[in-house]
Structure 1
Amino acid sequence: MKTLNSKKTFLFLYILFFVVVSCNNVCAAQKGDTASFIAYKGRLLNESSGKSLPYVSITIANSNLSSMSNSEGDFLLKIPSSLSFDSIHFSVIGFHSLSLSKNGFENNKRKDIRMKPQEYFLKEVEIVPGKAEQIWGEALKRIPSNYPQKPMMMVGFYREFVKKGNKNLSIVESIIDVYKASYKGQEADQAKIYKGRKISELRNQDTILFRYQGGVSDALMLDMAKSKDLVMDEAFLGTYDLKLENSLVLNGRNHYLISFDQSPGIADIYFRGKIYIDAESYAIARIEMNMNVEGRKDASDLFIKKKPSGMRVAIESAAYMIEYQQQNDKWVYKHAQIAVKYKCRWQKRLFGIFASNYSVFSELAASDFYEESVNKFPRKERLRSTDVIVERVSDFQDDDFWGPYNVIEPEKSIEETIKKLSKRR
């Protein structure tokens, strides 16, 4: 359970004085990706309003391949030419799921796809004392039957941004190989970088250098069905107040919606949020939560590992999300996000009364699973919770860097940053 005294923390941030360092970047040559694939490109829109739909889940029937739209609704799905399939499936909270024939797409030409809003709430739920706790208890009891009991290999796309105000200071993107341990027992997941790239804008006048530690590890730790001690341990019901909200439809299936918040009188910093539980299987399908850091001066102790003397850091918000998808008769890791906003202010310095706004965003999206050649990684290849990913990847290079791998399409602001900074190199 996360407390101020816990050694487990989300999102370590190094805050250091800026130092110019000269180094030789050695990058192992990547083997060329020769797999032949067909690209399906599109933009997802709300049929009623015409606005873009972010983070829509995109899957292929009878396949483990998947992707999702970015925050602007754009997507690029790469499917091996050898894969036989008929349609592409789209689903997101609050909208009717949609399946489109692959014949409706032209190779690498964007298609606008409109999704119809769905009545969010399915029905009123009779509020019975203890009902939320009963549903929650059943969900925990069914974890062994709802989630894989054998290890699998997962391919995922990871990215992180560090911003000062609206300006991107650094962008990191990586294809990640993951040894996804069984959901029984305490074995931890393992991850390694298959290929990755970075770009940053740090100038001599910048006085602070931020380093985000443990991004991939944090995203895997958010797998609450596995890492139950983060929020869902045996003390959960004694620490939080649960409330059963109305039932709703998520990805075409009925779900219970349970809200939770830390109980009054608890001094430590915990979470508030929502849990989506599949009404048929009692699988935990999605969790959205915020850490209760607002107005807490001691919140920075949970996030900041190192900072200069004379600097104050205030955590403005800390939001987390984990989502699962049903694959055959099991539920598997789909997508995790972490977003933290904070302010930095120097004490006893000229203009020290002015605070600078910073934010960190990271996400890990699964794009494929396979059960063949399931092996742990050599220790030297594994990503550790202390690793800073930006130090483990090379600079942005060519436009075809990802080859046949499915990634989250960069938003327009990210594309512009990449183009601008790449021209300076």
Structure 2
Amino acid sequence: MVLVVFSLNAQAVFTEYSGKIIDGRSNKALEAVSLNINETNIGTITNSEGEFVIKVASDYLDSKVTISLLGYDTYSVPLSQLAKADNVIKLYVAVTELSAVSISAFKNAESLVQKVFRDKMQHLDDQSLFMTAFYRETIKRRNRNVSLTEAVVNILKQPNSSSLRDAIQLSKARKSTDYKRLDTVSVKLQGGPFSALYLDIMKYPEHIFTEESIKIYNFSFDEPSVINNRAVYVVNFIPKANVVGVNYIGKLFIDVELLALAGADYALDLSDKKRTKNLLVKKKPKDIVVYPLEASYKVAYKVNGKTWYYNYSNLNLKFKINKKKQLFNKVYTLASEMAVTNWEVNSTDKRIKIKDRLKPTMVITDAISGFSDPNFWGKYNLIEPDKSIEFAIAKIKKNIEKEKQDKKKKSS
């Protein structure tokens, strides 16, 4: 398959900055912090250990980087004041006060949520967008990594009013899977970039809230917060009592000024084991029963002027696999995340050919050799790997070197 790769600022020279974002009082590492270069669409996200790396084109080295996280004051610093590595940046919890009048403008929290979804087109860009994103997926058996996938993808975001589905094209990827440790359940834990993209609930509300499904939830106001120095309503939601089916529990973060969704954290209600048995499994052997232990999701949006754009999403699925006549259960975790690292309005009508599009069910094929190349990602922005993933990559590199040495010995 020949890929036509659209790379934003492909010819530019880049400078890399790295460091860690921590809580200013507790020194605790802060996960999923957004870093964006001012007056551009270049950005990245910190990993679970608060670490980041961001590559900036030489044209923007006089710019500032803006650092933001839900519940914290936004911090902006000139790139000229950052070292190339080992930066430690502190964020401080924001104090926000919303008057009772602000909340009483709505009959109740449910009426606010209905308005957000009903009027969403007022705050979403109804143009075609071309995005570059970094995607990472890990599968663990217990605490051991058995599959690691990383990819840079091009996303053709269709206008929100369009019935056309978004398209994803693989630009660059690497993957290694230990199929012996995944054994017979490997096909049950297939993910992919579409699994993260479909968490864009403004584009795909059918996955959580439709006009009808909103009615099955109880909504309530929580303490307000801030995102990027903008006040947000925090709305809790839980299924109403005696509602049939499997539903969600979570929080919505709604911009106070624009009444647009700034983000959401939610999870499947898995309290009823009988009802959730084999949930999220499309196909399985007859002698296997799958119990989901966790299914949590997160999506975040970025505002540009008065328009909101999909920026980041992640999911975490944990399963217990019971197999007949086996004494011990097996526990697998699938975690995936995708961060938009650059985007532009598709004014030149760029397209992704049908033959080059990833299918929602497609699994990225193995490309182990990429893990041995320290310059594999080149100028692409990515999410820094966690220490556990770095350890897994180190083991993969050792195996690659061992294979090379074994081949040399055989040839000699």
Fold shared per TM-score above 0.5: yes
Indicate the residue corresponding to 2:175 in structure 1: 198
Structure richer in helix, relative to its length: 2
Q: Is the 8 A contact 1:319 1:340 kept in 2?
A: yes
Q: Secondary structure at the match of 2:314?
A: strand
Give matches, 1:17-166, under 5 Å. Answer: 35-83=12-60, 85-107=62-84, 109-119=85-95, 122-123=97-98, 125=100, 130-166=107-143
CA distance, structure 2, for counterparts of residue 143 and residue 98 of structure 1: 28
Of 228-237 and 359-368, deviating more is 228-237
1:381 aligned residue (352, 356, 379): 356
User: What displacement does 1:342 show?
Assistant: 1.0
User: What displacement does 1:123 show?
Assistant: 4.0
Give the TM-score taking structure 1 as reference length. Answer: 0.86
Indicate the residue corresponding to 1:363 in structure 2: 337
Indicate the residue corresponding to 2:376 in structure 1: 401
Give matches, 1:272-287, under 5 Å. Answer: 272-287=249-264
Indicate the residue corresponding to 1:15 in structure 2: none
Indicate the residue corresponding to 1:23 in structure 2: none
Indicate the residue corresponding to 2:403 in structure 1: none
Give matches, 1:339-354, under 5 Å. Answer: 339-349=316-326, 351=327, 354=328
Q: Secondary structure at the match of 2:109?
A: helix
User: What displacement does 1:63 show?
Assistant: 0.5
User: What displacement does 1:313 show?
Assistant: 1.2
Give matches, 1:153-302, under 5 Å. Answer: 153-203=130-180, 207-211=183-187, 212-302=189-279
Deviations 1:364-414 (A, max 9, x none): 110111124332311111111111234589753401111111000011111
Query: Aligned in 2, Cα 1:389/1:348: closer, same or farther, shift over 3 Å?
Result: same
Deviations 1:228-251 (A, max 9, x none): 222221103321111122322222
Between Structure 1 and Structure 2, how many residues are aligned? 394
Query: Aligned in 2, Cα 1:279/1:419: closer, same or farther, shift over 3 Å?
Result: same
Amino acid at match of 2:335: F
Within the alignment, does 1:420 sit opposite 2:400 as a pair?
no
Q: Secondary structure at the match of 1:388?
A: coil
Amino acid at match of 2:88: D
Q: Is the 8 A contact 2:18 2:87 kept in 1?
A: yes
Q: Is the 8 A contact 2:131 2:157 kept in 1?
A: yes
Indicate the residue corresponding to 1:7 in structure 2: none
CA distance, structure 1, for counterparts of residue 76 and residue 250 of structure 2: 31
Deviations 1:164-206 (A, max 9, x none): 1110011100001000111113221110110000123344x76
CA distance, structure 1, for counterparts of residue 149 and residue 275 of structure 2: 29
Q: Secondary structure at the match of 1:342?
A: strand
Query: Aligned in 2, Cα 1:27/1:77: closer, same or farther, shift over 3 Å?
Result: same
Q: Secondary structure at the match of 1:41?
A: strand
Query: Aligned in 2, Cα 1:215/1:294: closer, same or farther, shift over 3 Å?
Result: farther
Q: Is the 8 A contact 1:285 1:323 kept in 2?
A: yes
Amino acid at match of 1:412: K
User: What displacement does 1:31 show?
Assistant: 12
Q: Is the 8 A contact 1:125 1:247 kept in 2?
A: no
Instruction: Report percent identity of matched pairs.
Output: 27
Q: Secondary structure at the match of 2:395?
A: helix
Amino acid at match of 1:405: Y
What 5-or-longer segments of structure 1 have no aligned partner? Answer: 1-25
Q: Is the 8 A contact 2:279 2:292 kept in 1?
A: no
CA distance, structure 2, for counterparts of residue 305 and residue 393 of structure 1: 28
User: What displacement does 1:328 show?
Assistant: 2.8
Query: Aligned in 2, Cα 1:179/1:112: closer, same or farther, shift over 3 Å?
Result: same
Query: Aligned in 2, Cα 1:61/1:312: closer, same or farther, shift over 3 Å?
Result: same
CA distance, structure 2, for counterparts of residue 73 and residue 314 of structure 1: 31
Q: Secondary structure at the match of 1:63?
A: coil
User: What displacement does 1:55 show?
Assistant: 1.1
Deviations 1:340-364 (A, max 9, x none): 1110121123x2xx21211100011
Q: Is the 8 A contact 1:152 1:374 kept in 2?
A: no
Q: Is the 8 A contact 1:192 1:382 kept in 2?
A: yes
Deviations 1:208-236 (A, max 9, x none): 34134352112111111111222221103
C-alpha RMSD of matched pairs (Å): 2.5
Indicate the residue corresponding to 1:20 in structure 2: none
Query: Aligned in 2, Cα 1:161/1:251: closer, same or farther, shift over 3 Å?
Result: same
CA distance, structure 1, for counterparts of residue 376 and residue 191 of structure 2: 24
Q: Secondary structure at the match of 2:111?
A: helix
CA distance, structure 2, for counterparts of residue 142 and residue 373 of structure 1: 28
Amino acid at match of 2:92: K
CA distance, structure 1, for counterparts of residue 249 and residue 83 of structure 2: 44
Amino acid at match of 1:137: Q
CA distance, structure 2, for counterparts of residue 215 and residue 284 of structure 1: 25
